[in-house]
Amino acid sequence: MHRNVRTIDDVMTLLDGLFAPEADRWTAHAGDWWDGFYADRSREIPFFVAKPDENLAAHVRSGLIEPGRALDVGCGPGRNAIFLARNGFQVDAVDISATAVTWAAERAEGLDIRFRHGDAFATEGSYDLIYDSGCFHHLPPHRRIGYLALLDRVLVPGGHFALTCFTAEEGTATPDADLYRQSGLSGGVGYTPQDLRWIFQDLTEVELRRMTEEPPDSPLFGKRFLWTALFRRQ
């Protein structure tokens, strides 16, 4: 059958296919790709450490973000979900990788965190905080639509959305249209502050800065190749 576009979902699937084999990171096979990524826990991957992001810790400890219901999008091995739970948040954490969720649950033994293996975009409920450390920059441009729909659906009025993502120096600076022409994300999409302000323009900016570089012996995770952003829903 050569005519296979009738719905928005069909368009999304078609666009996903333009990124093959990178598309395996977010299509029906995404779990398989990320399971392989998380399989070896001894790999020298910066965010495999059991430390929360320095920006998240700063916002919580200053009282800028107060305890409530939190959703950790793309939780990976659970480092930020664990920090939030230890600081009085009711945490739901979701990842497309079953291997990552298993690892996170092992780290979180004794903590009341509701881990879920699946598609974060399918999350229902209401949250005072949505936190994303490293998921957003792996999305192709057309998948931002579902991401914004998730924020609109589950973030409560007055709630916060916090993000860490690649700078344009770390991720690819290729324009959106050219990403489709080259059929790949080159490891991840890089953003400028102007990009982030435009994409999340329906939210109020609280802070947008480079992540502070943390030394190896720090109890916090911090790399300067990431932006940290905090937005509030009015």
pLDDT digits (tens, 9 = 90+) for 32-70: 888 999 999 999 999 999 999 999 999 999 999 999 999
List all residues 6 or more positions away from 80 whose beta carbon is below 8 Å from its beta carbon.
Answer: 52, 53, 56, 72, 131, 133
pLDDT value at residue 33: 82
Is the confidence at residue 133, as pLDDT, over 80?
Answer: yes
Is the confidence at residue 21, as pLDDT, over 80?
Answer: no
**In angstroms, rounded to a whole number, what is the distance separating the alpha carbons of residues 185 and 23?**
9
Our measurement of the distance from residue 64's CA atom to the centroid of its chain's CA atoms, rounded to an integer in Å, reads: 20
| Domains defined for the chain, CATH in brackets | 8-41+48-232 (3.40.50.150)
Sheet holding 69-73, edge to edge: 113-117, 90-95, 69-73, 127-133, 155-166, 226-232, 204-210
pLDDT value at residue 160: 98
Mean of pLDDT values over 211-226: 97
List all residues 6 or more positions away from 15 whose beta carbon is below 8 Å from its beta carbon.
Answer: 140, 142, 180
Tokens of 189: 């999409």
pLDDT digits (tens, 9 = 90+) for 161-211: 999 999 999 999 999 999 998 878 888 999 999 999 999 999 999 999 999
List the one residue out of 191, 197, 193, 161 whose CA is nearest residue 179: 191
Residue tagged 């930020």 (tokens): 80
